[in-house]
Amino acid sequence: MTLAIKPLARRFAAPALAAWLLYMGMWTVLFAIEQPVMALLTQTLGWFVDLFLANLGMVEKTSSSVRAFTQNMAEGVVLILVGLFAGAWVARRRR
């Protein structure tokens, strides 16, 4: 059995590239969201443990900066837009 690589690659290279760009953009946006969420959770949990359950030990607290958040969000949005442009090009080519 032979697998026709060339036609498969020709058909799916552009959609896969668009999907990959969208995925990288989503990943960056979710990474940007994850940092403040983790900071909020660990700070809240740390405060709770410090106040009520001090014998459990310390909770490792994380922090997040607005600058890093905005930069990550901007990078993610740019990647998503590039992915959408690639997807729009694929959709137009298909028509």
Partner 1 sequence: MWGRATRPSDPPLHPYCPKTFARLYSTSFRTPAEVCDNPRSSLPVNKLREILLTEYIGAILVALLASEAIIALVALLVGQIYWHAALAGRYHESLGHSILTALVKMLLYLGSAYLLARWLYGAKPPVTRESTESLQTSREV
**Contact positions vs partner 1 (CB under 8 A):** 11-12, 14-16, 18-20, 22-23, 26-27, 30, 33-34, 37-38, 41-42, 45, 59-60, 62, 84, 87-88, 90-91, 94
Which residue's CB is nearer to partner 1, number 12 or number 74? 12
Q: What's the min distance (Å) between Cβ of 46 and partner 1?
A: 10
State the minimum distance, in angstroms, from the CB of residue 42 to partner 1. 7
The residue among 1 and 41 lying less far from partner 1, judged by its C-beta, is 41
Q: Measured from the CB atom, is 67 or 93 closer to partner 1?
A: 93
Cα–Cα distances (Å) from 52 to 42, 57, 60, in that order, read: 15, 11, 16
Q: What is the DSSP letter of 90?
A: H
DSSP secondary structure string for all residues of 27-63:
HHHHHHHHHHHHHHHHHHHHHHHHHH-GGG-------
Whole-number minimum distance, CB 66 to partner 1, in Å? Answer: 19
Q: Rounded to an integer, what distance in angstroms lies between the CA atom of residue 88 and that of residue 95? A: 11
Closest C-alpha among 30, 36, 40 to residue 75: 30
